[in-house]
């Protein structure tokens, strides 16, 4: 009852084929998993880049608003001054550098300046004479929203102190 060599060889060929197919299937699953993982990581990197770009643009908007003294207007506490893209403002004449608001960024850029209050004494750490200067406090908000194009969205708020010389040319009174 000894089997011939040819019958034993044919059974081995079938096992080798099955083992080879299983190994090929495992390699395919590993390859697809690695590809999906790398696509996901690429999307995460793009999202982070868009978030940082929107953050930097919002900070640039705030810096551009602060650089123009005409944007920082006094008045009643809580009074707001905005650019034309913001609703519900007392004034709509905040000026921003042209390169920040040219298309397609013009409708995505928002700036709001809120007059908080003016107080008669400037903080001592500014090393100015508190008898000669007042301090006007503003809140400057900058927002950039390009989420419709998957380019990020960010909004920042920054407090600003403007030192004003007392007397006929200015001050809190």
Q: Is residue 49 part of a domain?
A: yes
Statement: the pTM of the whole predicted model exceeds 0.85? no
The whole-angstrom separation of Cα 144 and Cα 152 is 8
Q: Is residue 171 part of a domain?
A: no
Q: Is residue 81 part of a domain?
A: yes
The predicted-structure confidence for 69-96, as pLDDT tens digits, reads as follows 888 887 888 899 998 888 888 888 888 8
Question: C-alpha dihedral over 108, 109, 114, 120, to 10 degrees?
Answer: 160
Contacts of 152 (CB under 8 A, 6+ apart): 47, 50, 51, 52, 53, 54, 55, 144, 146
Q: Is residue 135 part of a domain?
A: yes
Q: How many domains does the chain have?
A: 1
Domain housing 105: 5-165
The predicted-structure confidence for 151-170, as pLDDT tens digits, reads as follows 899 999 999 888 777 766 56
Q: Is residue 172 part of a domain?
A: no
Q: Is residue 158 part of a domain?
A: yes
Q: Is residue 37 part of a domain?
A: yes
């Amino acid at each position: 009852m000894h089997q011939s060599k040819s019958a034993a060889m044919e059974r081995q060929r079938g096992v080798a084929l099955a083992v080879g197919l299983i190994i090929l299937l495992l390699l395919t699953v590993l390859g697809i998993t690695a590809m999906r993982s790398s696509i996901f990581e690429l999307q995460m990197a793009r999202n982070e880049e868009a978030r940082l770009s929107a953050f930097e643009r919002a900070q640039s908007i705030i810096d551009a608003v602060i650089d123009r003294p005409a944007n920082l207007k006094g008045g009643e506490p809580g009074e707001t001054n905005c650019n034309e893209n913001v609703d519900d403002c007392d004034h709509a004449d905040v000026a921003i550098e042209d390169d920040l608001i040219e298309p397609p960024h013009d409708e995505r850029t928002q700036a709001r300046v809120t007059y908080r209050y003016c107080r008669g004494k400037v903080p001592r750490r500014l090393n100015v004479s508190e008898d000669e200067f007042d301090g006007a406090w503003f809140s400057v908000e900058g927002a950039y929203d390009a989420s419709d194009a998957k380019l990020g969205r960010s909004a920042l708020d920054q407090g600003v102190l403007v030192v004003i010389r007392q007397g006929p040319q200015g001050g809190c009174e």
